[in-house]
Amino acid sequence: MTPKTLKEWLHHADDEILARFIANHQNLIAQLMQAWQRQLNKEQAAHNLPEDAVIANNPSPLADNPDDMADEVTVPRPHEEEDDKQTASETTATACTTQETPQTDDEFAPLAPSTPDTAMPLHPATPTPTAAETPAIHLPPLPNANQGQPYAHTLPADLPITSLTIETADSGLTWDDDTRRIHGTPTVSGDLTIRLILLDNGKEIGTHLNLHINPDPKSLWQNLPSDQDAPFAKPDSAHEEQTTPHGRLIAARQRGRSHAHIGSYCDDDYRLHYHEASGLHLLTVADGAGSAAHSRYGSQLAVEAVKNTICALLDDPDKPHRRLADADPAQREKIAANLISHALHAAHKAHLEAAQQHGLETKSLSCTLLIGLAVALPDGSWYHAAYQVGDGAAALWQLESGTLHLLGEADSGAYSGETQFLSRAQLDEADITRRIRHHNDSALYTLILMTDGVSDPKFETDAGLKNPALWQALWQELKTPLADPTPDTALLDWLDFWSRGNHDDRTIALLIPAAKESA
């Protein structure tokens, strides 16, 4: 900017705007005035000119008229109460104060914290309010908590906390001042405000932290009862225990959250039976196809047909089936295979007859099917046989040695989650034979059958089903409900375990040999 430009700009500036500019920038203008005065002093010293001559020849660029500059130097500030009483001595004192300002080559050096220069006619301005100072203390964010799960977080030792209050008294969380920990088990979900009083530079300042508590996923699911008056209705859950001379039969089925949330039915079913005359233990479980409209009825028909058919064969004294325990190994396997084959035909026939009777498509009754047989032999060993079509798992688990024997292989389809169901194709004798597994051992094994509602979250993959470590982990979970005075009820409660993304119906059936009672 040239001197001419500055003069023209100040000369043509709007008076009202210029007045507001002066009021808002008093300190800056005072700096400019002092810098201008220092420049004049330099000019005077360099040319040996009287002060008045220098001022006359070099008026302030802030003056509207060069001749007005001398007058402006003596104009008092408008906010002073004694506007008309300023004496010559006061004016002289002001001038002396200005001249005594230390000289420096920096024309814009910071002003000393003295009384502002009164030579400039500055209008009073209302001070701009400033925000209240916040404490210069870093508050680290709190990690999220989970409703129903233990939570503990220790605040930094150098955080000057004089008090801490958790806004919701019944949140399940407390503050331990000695350990500086927020801890407990949250009973609520959402955002929880935690108010703190901090000591900052000797002053107590209030602030707050926000703790987000994730809701218990289980609480988001409804548990609506199914319509027990609708066709093919059955209870939403079931459990059973039978004590035999050789051990315990225990089973439970629990409706999955995906069905409970909308009030639909449990598609799983099971049957247990001990045949006293033959000493045979029977376990069978079925899982109705989720895509089949009446699969809850189909699974019920299948397990009932399996139980009734095998019991009928064992009851007939003219047939060899009831002498299963006394037969030689080869004959025993033939008898077991014959029992299973008859049971499969009966289950399929039950589907066909029900479809015809009720005007249904046979596919609407589709289900998987697992059958387990076990008999204690005269020499103290056990014989087991099992059959599986579809997903789920059938296995023998030996706790002491950690030995696993799978008694079936899950069927899988072309797409994830696909499986096979009981149909006419599974009645081929070659297919039946390849699916049956036999096992004879003097060691005592627990026989376990389960639908995929249990096997999927506990094993996840076919490879997981073959992993003894995962079966060991499962058994550790089962030990508590199985040791309960009412193990079937406790087992039903256990089936309500939470597994993210796994909300299918769940059924499990076990035969625990008597010697296992102390394990």
Average pLDDT of the segment spanning 322-343: 96
Q: Which numeric CATH code is attached to 237-513?
A: 3.60.40.10
Among 361, 505, 378, 384, which residue's Cα sits nearest to residue 444? 384
The pLDDT value recorded for residue 345 is 98
Report how far residue 44's alpha carbon sits from residue 108's, in angstroms, rounded to the nearest whole number: 19
Report how far residue 517's alpha carbon sits from residue 519's, in angstroms, rounded to the nearest whole number: 6
The pLDDT value recorded for residue 489 is 98
Task: Provide the pLDDT confidence category of residue 202 given band limits of 50, 70 and 90.
Answer: confident
β pairing state of 173-176 and 403-406: unpaired
Tokens of 148: 């129903």
At 355-411, the pLDDT tens digits run: 999 999 999 999 999 999 999 999 999 999 999 999 999 999 998 899 999 999 998
Whether 267 and 299 have beta carbons less than 8 Å apart is answered as: yes
In the chain, the percentage of residues whose pLDDT exceeds 70 is 77
At 57-85, the pLDDT tens digits run: 455 444 444 343 333 333 333 333 433 43
The pLDDT value recorded for residue 62 is 47
The alpha carbon of 336 is separated from its chain's Cα centroid by a whole number of angstroms, namely 49
The mean pLDDT of the chain is 83
Alpha helices per DSSP H over 83-238? 88-99
Report how far residue 381's alpha carbon sits from residue 422's, in angstroms, rounded to the nearest whole number: 32
Task: Provide the pLDDT confidence category of residue 107 given band limits of 50, 70 and 90.
Answer: very low
For residue 118, pLDDT over 80 is answered with no
The pLDDT value recorded for residue 515 is 74
At 398-429, the pLDDT tens digits run: 988 999 999 999 987 555 556 899 999 999 99
For residue 128, pLDDT over 60 is answered with no
Tell whether domain 145-214 is in CATH 1.10.3720.10: no
At 208-256, the pLDDT tens digits run: 999 999 999 888 899 999 999 999 999 999 999 999 999 999 999 999 9
Report how far residue 40's alpha carbon sits from residue 299's, in angstroms, rounded to the nearest whole number: 107
Domain ranges of the chain: 145-214, 237-513
The pLDDT value recorded for residue 3 is 61
Report how far residue 142's alpha carbon sits from residue 101's, in angstroms, rounded to the nearest whole number: 55
Backbone angles phi, psi at 353, to 5 degrees: -70, -40
Task: Provide the pLDDT confidence category of residue 16 given band limits of 50, 70 and 90.
Answer: low
Report how far residue 83's alpha carbon sits from residue 481's, in angstroms, rounded to the nearest whole number: 96
CA atoms within 13 A on the CB side of 431: 14
At 445-468, the pLDDT tens digits run: 999 999 999 999 999 999 999 999
Whether 254 and 266 have beta carbons less than 8 Å apart is answered as: yes
- b/e map of 405-435 (b: 16 or more CB within 10 Å)? bbbbbbbeeeeeeebbbbeeebeeeeebeeb
Cβ atoms within 10 Å of 88's Cβ, excluding its own: 8
